[in-house]
Amino acid sequence: MKCGGSIAGDAARLIEPFLEAGHEVCVVHGAGPQISEEMERFGLPVEFVGGRRVTSAAGLAIVRASLLAVNRALCAELGPRALGLSGDEIGLHAVSVPALGLVGDPLPSRPPAIESALASGRVPVVAPLAVGPLNVNADEAAAALAVGLGADRILFLTDVPGLLRNGSVVQTIGTDEADHLLDSGSLEGGILPKLRAAVTAARLGVRAEIGETSVLA
């Protein structure tokens, strides 16, 4: 499950039903609003390209601090089952994207720390940093971990009901249609990396959902 920084306070309520149903759940979270607020406070530019944050060395320090603050808060909400982890410390790997600064494209990864946590009944809560360290988009990090761990399902929890077209939620979309939509330039903001990540996961065998929208391979 991936939850955005804007809904981190509600994440425990949204995640709990899956735990009560007996599912093994790995949580990946963002901290977008918190990072932007801190960067503005320190006078650093807030810039995105294709939904991904341009990250300087100074910006990366703020990204890390903000992510770890959200991680602690989310773990506190989930209770003693939660285990906070930082992707760069447990082996989430990524390919560097120099044009965006200290940013990476995450690769499918199967960190032993996550497997161990799940096997012992814990809920790993992962901050999306990659070995480097590199800042990685949380949606893309969640997809990379879902594929690497062989998850049955990835669910992107967000503050919108799903993919919107003409003001209505798209209930299902195929990966080819999603690619055309992404290439068309008609989408902007946070839905871009979410839909890209969902397409990646679906093509590699993981059932992908963005809120109420299912992405079909």
Identify which of 164, 126, 162 has the alpha carbon closest to the alpha carbon of residue 143. 126
Domains of the chain: total: 1
The Cα 51–Cα 48 span in angstroms is 6
Going by the DSSP 8-state scheme, the letter that residue 8 receives in this structure is G
Instruction: Show the domain range for 52.
Output: 2-216
Q: Are 190 and 159 in contact (CB under 8 A)?
A: no
Q: What is the pLDDT of residue 11?
A: 79
Query: Per the structure block, which two tokens stand in for 47?
Result: 């810039």
Q: What is the pLDDT of residue 97?
A: 97
* 3 state DSSP class of 158: coil
Q: What is the pLDDT of residue 2?
A: 93
Q: What is the pLDDT of residue 140?
A: 94
Identify which of 67, 66, 79 has the alpha carbon closest to the alpha carbon of residue 12. 79
Q: What is the pLDDT of residue 120?
A: 95
> pTM to 2 decimals?
0.93
Chunked into runs of 10 residues, the chain (217 residues) has average pLDDT values of: 76 86 94 94 93 94 96 92 96 96 96 97 97 96 96 89 85 93 83 90 94 88
- Kindly write down the DSSP assignment for every residue of 57-77, as one continuous string: HHHHHHHHHHHHHHHHHHHHH
Q: What is the pLDDT of residue 6?
A: 66
Q: What is the pLDDT of residue 156?
A: 92
CATH number assigned to the domain comprising residue 97: 3.40.1160.10
Q: Are 144 and 107 in contact (CB under 8 A)?
A: yes
Q: Are 84 and 125 in contact (CB under 8 A)?
A: yes
CA 101 vs CA 51, 55, 65, 136, 211: distances in Å: 14, 5, 18, 11, 30
